[in-house]
Amino acid sequence: MTNKAILQLKDIFLRFTGEIHEVKVLNGINLDIFKGSSVAILGPSGSGKSSLLSIVTGLEKQTSGTVSVGGHILDHMNEDQLALFRRDNIGIVLQSFHLIPTMTALENVAVPLELAGQKDALKKAEEALNHVGLSYRLTHFPSQLSGGEQQRVAIARAMAPNPKIIFADEPTGNLDGKTGHKIIELIFDLQNKFNTTLILITHDPEVAKKCDRILYIQDGLIKESKESKKIKAAV
């Protein structure tokens, strides 16, 4: 059995041309992530964690290098192709919840399912909200929910279409410690249950230790922690 990467980065550079200096954010990143694994990305503020996430989710184009996610090479896709790629392959959870304020929890979770043309979108959305422990909040609007509940809705929305990979960028950044802890537990429970690949940006080394691998971004490069476990690729 050969190892198969669900996400592969080859020589990724990201540079911004400023008025005075060129800003070098990523300086030649090479990375293979295997299906079903969990990977934490740590690094100081401004080290390029979110930029890397934007590149692998097709929200930003790298300056050079090749990005392959779930068998799709993103490098030359246009915006429409990237939107379809995101819809069909990945889920994203961010620090701020980005729920649609005029829609209920149920409707928010149903949006990506409806966009994907799924007939029983509302039923699947309800199941996803059950999985995050919010079956009693289906008809609440985001403003009627606590921060932790809003993040649960955002997680349900990301997971409902059964994505191959979940990307989470500091998902507890807007939550208090106890609520954040519960959200992290939930993310790992769901990852286990659905065998999703998880890429989790965090500043918390204890959270990172829950992952199979721990990566650091430093000087625009990725370094693997000695604490990373040996990964058996699930092909």
Ligand X SMILES: Nc1ncnc2c1ncn2[C@@H]1O[C@H](COP(=O)(O)OP(=O)(O)O)[C@@H](O)[C@H]1O
Residues at the interface with ligand X (CB under 6 A): 16, 23, 25, 43, 45-51
Nearer to ligand X, 25 or 214 (CB): 25
Nearer to ligand X, 156 or 175 (CB): 175
Closest CB 211 distance from ligand X, rounded Å: 17
Asked if 28 and 13 touch (Cβ cutoff 8 Å), the reply is yes
Distance CA 145, CA 11 (A): 43
From the DSSP assignment, how many helices (H) and strands (E) are in the chain?
A: 7, 10
Q: Is 172 in the site for Mg ion (CB under 5 A)?
A: no
| Tokens read off for 4 | 């198969």
Give φ, ψ of 134 to 5 degrees. -120, 30
Closest CB 18 distance from ligand X, rounded Å: 6
Query: Which stretch in 45-53, 63-71, 104-112, 149-157 sits in contact with Mg ion by CB under 5 A?
Result: 45-53
Residues binding Mg ion: what is the number (CB under 5 A)? 2
Nearer to Mg ion, 23 or 73 (CB): 23
Give φ, ψ of 111 to 5 degrees. -55, -55
Query: Which stretch in 44-52, 57-65, 142-150, 204-212 sits in contact with Mg ion by CB under 5 A?
Result: 44-52
Nearer to ligand X, 45 or 143 (CB): 45
Query: Choosing among ligand X, Mg ion, none, which partner's interface includes residue 180 (Cβ < 5 to 8 Å by kind)?
Result: none
Amino acid identity, position 88: D
Closest CB 10 distance from ligand X, rounded Å: 19
- Measured over the CA atoms of residue 15, residue 18, residue 21 and residue 23, the dihedral's sign is negative
How far is the CA of 38 from the CAs of 20, 111, 189, in angstroms? 39, 26, 12
Closest CB 51 distance from Mg ion, rounded Å: 8
Distance CA 11, CA 173 (A): 30
Angle at 192 between CA 188 and CA 198, to 5 degrees: 60
Nearer to ligand X, 43 or 163 (CB): 43
Q: Is 50 in the site for Mg ion (CB under 5 A)?
A: yes
Closest CB 193 distance from Mg ion, rounded Å: 27
Closest CB 50 distance from Mg ion, rounded Å: 3
Integer Rg of the chain from CA: 18
